Every structure is written in C-alpha cells, then in structure tokens.
Chain A
Amino acid sequence: MNQSILYVIAGIVVVCIGLEGILIRPGWMKKILGLNLFGTGVFLILIAFGKRAGKECDPIMQSLVLTGIVISVSVTAFSLTLLQKITTSEPGAKEKKT
C-alpha cells in the first residue's frame, strides 16, 4: 500500500463521474465535458500506476499518456467544432440573434 494507489482510486472515481455525466446529464456540452473527465481519469490511473514502485515514473507510461492526451485534445477540438456547427444551424438560431 503506497501513496500512488490513492491516485489510482481517485482516477477511478473521476472515470465514474465522467461516465455518469455522459450517460445522464442533458445537453451536449456536459457530455463533452464528461468525455474529457473520463479521459483525464484514465490518464490519471495510467500515470499513478506508472509511479507505483519505482522512484522515477515509468517513461513508457508517460509517453502513452502523452499520446493519449494529444488524441483526447483532438477529440475535444473536433467535438466542439461539431457542437458549434449544430448550435448555429439550430432551427430558429438566426431569429434569436436578430
């Protein structure tokens, strides 16, 4: 039992909060945020596992997480682009503006 297991459990909790957001929160923005939380939780678990025994954090885990983060940023960017397009194409969006 060491410190890093606490981070692993925290990561698991973050994953569950994110999933809960995706499953039951209404509104796309909340779902995208939930997806982000889910990803962050997974990365936290990975990094905490990498730190378990050694003094240095496992470089393989670090690079896996770096790759994962870039992919997660890309996913978020594209989902926000889609959401932006959806909200502007909403029927009645133009009337609201004027």
Chain B
Amino acid sequence: MKNEVSWRTKILVRLMMLCMAITLAGIALSAPSESSYISQAATYRVKEAGVESPVTAVLIHFRGYDTMLEVTVMLLVAIGAMAVGKNQDESQPALLAQKEETLLTNPMIRLLLPIMLMVSIYYLWAGAKKAGGAFQAGTVLGSMGIMLLLAQKLHSSNRESALWRILLVVGPFTFVTLSFVSIFFGNAFLDFPQFMNSQLIFCIEAMVSISTGAIFCVVFARCSNLSFSEKQ
C-alpha cells in the first residue's frame, strides 16, 4: 500500500472536500420543494399493480427490470468470491479449532433454526403489504446458513458442489425465465399474465430469497477465516 500521505496533500484534499460540500449544499438548497409528478403517479397506480405497498409495486412492477439486474449483481459477487476467495488448503480453520460438538451449539441451533425459518417466510409473505420481501427473507436465510457453517453443520466443498451452484443461480434464473416467458402470452417482458400474476411473483420471490441466502453463505465462507471441507 501507499506510504503516508504528505500534509500538503491532506490539506489540499480537505479543502477540495469543503468546496465540494458547499457547492453541493448550495445546489441542494436551490432544488424545488414540490414533490415530483411520477411519485404521485406511482402512488395512485399502485392498485393497478395488484399489491398494497407502493414500494413493492415500484420494485417488482414498475421498475422490476432494475431488480432483475440487481439480483444478477448479487450473483456476480458469489461468482467472483468463488473464483477469487481462498482455497480450502490455504489456511487452517482459525475460528473453530475443535470439531467436537459443544453443549451449547446443538440446542441453540435446534431452537433457533425453526424460528429463523418462520421469520424468513413471514418476511416473504409480508412483502406484498408492508416492509419485507425477497431480500429481507434471503438475509435471514443467509444468517441461518452462516450459523450452520459456524457450527460446522453445513459444509461447502472447495469446488462448490453442483447443489450449491444450483442454489446460487436458481433465483436469478427463475426471475429472468419467468419474465421472459410472459412474452409468449402476448404480454410485454416482465408483465406477468394476469391469471397467475401473484403466484408467479411469489415463486420468483421465494427463489430469489433462497439464492440470496446461498450467496451470503458462499461469500461468508470464502471471506472468513474458516475453511470448509467435504464431510468426512
């Protein structure tokens, strides 16, 4: 890494930041204060989309294309982490030296796992009405997976096994495929056929949350000091 920065550069950079802050604040103060017209459009056209929460309507219906690419971005991180992350033979397991089960972990996992699963499913279900949705559900699933990884109940092999790959890719794949299929029903891309709109969206959300969870697990496994081996 670079050496210590000289004090002249420091002062220069800080002055630049000050100027930038003042300019940006000045611009922000000049902004109009009435709310923009498409935000109003978004609020009154929510009913057309068939969901109650306006944010969900924007994320899934009005700007679902952004969400599709965003899910792809998350998959990219998993692909990158699998290629770049450490190999299993490179380091010793530092976090968990002993392999024998302790008194605490097993009961804790038995207690926590069902609760976390419930919370995750609740988030998935609540997404249509209030705060919640695929990413939140996926985060809980991911933390469940990380807990299992830490307790060495879950193993991810070095060459990520076929199952892991499919778990990682199933969310983005379902999202893109089902959006694409609606073309053959005479609809636009991402415009799901009316008769099974909500079922398709629920299916996509469920798959995306599974993939999100899997991505978190893989990135955690690759990033952390743990090493994972095939189950003996």
Residues of chain A touching chain B, judged by Cβ–Cβ distance below 8 Å, are 2, 5, 8-9, 12-13, 15-17, 19-20, 23-24, 26-28, 45, 49-50, 52-54, 56, 58-63, 66-67, 70-71, 74, 77-78, 80-82, 84-85, 88
Contacts and interface: CB of A to CB of B under 8 A. Distances in A.
Interface string B157-168: 000000000000
Given A9-B25, A16-B18, A71-B73, A88 B223 contact: no
B222 A81 contact: yes
Given A12-B21, A16-B21, A66-B59, A88 B91 contact: yes
23 contacts: A2-B33, A15-B24, A16-B21, A26-B2, A26-B3, A49-B31, A50-B39, A52-B35, A53-B35, A56-B54, A58-B42, A59-B46, A59-B54, A59-B57, A60-B39, A60-B58, A66-B55, A78-B80, A78-B81, A81-B80, A81-B84, A81-B219, A88-B86
Given A26-B4, A60-B38, A63-B58, A77 B77 contact: yes
B153 interface: no
A53 B5 CA distance: 44
Contacts of B91: 88
Given A26-B1, A54-B39, A85-B85, A16 B20 contact: yes
Given A54-B35, A59-B42, A70 B25 contact: no
Contacts of A27: 1
Interface string B198-232: 00000000000000000000010011100000000
B77 A53 contact: no
A84 B85 contact: yes
Contacts of B73: 70-71, 74
Interface of B: 1-5, 9-10, 13-14, 17-18, 20-21, 24-25, 28-29, 31, 33-36, 38-39, 42-43, 46, 54-55, 57-59, 62-63, 66-67, 70, 73-74, 76-77, 80-81, 84-86, 90-91, 135, 219, 222-224
Contacts, number: 125
Contact of B17 (A19, A70, A74, A82): A19
Contacts of B36: 58
A10 to B, nearest CB: 10
B17 A62 contact: no
B3 A85 contact: no
Given A52-B33, A54-B35, A81-B84, 12 more contacts: A9-B25, A12-B21, A19-B17, A20-B17, A58-B42, A59-B39, A59-B57, A60-B42, A63-B63, A63-B66, A81-B80, A84-B86
Contacts of B42: 58-60
Contacts of A12: 21, 24-25, 28
Contact of A74 (B39, B54, B77): B77
Given A12-B24, A56-B43, A59-B57, A81 B223 contact: yes
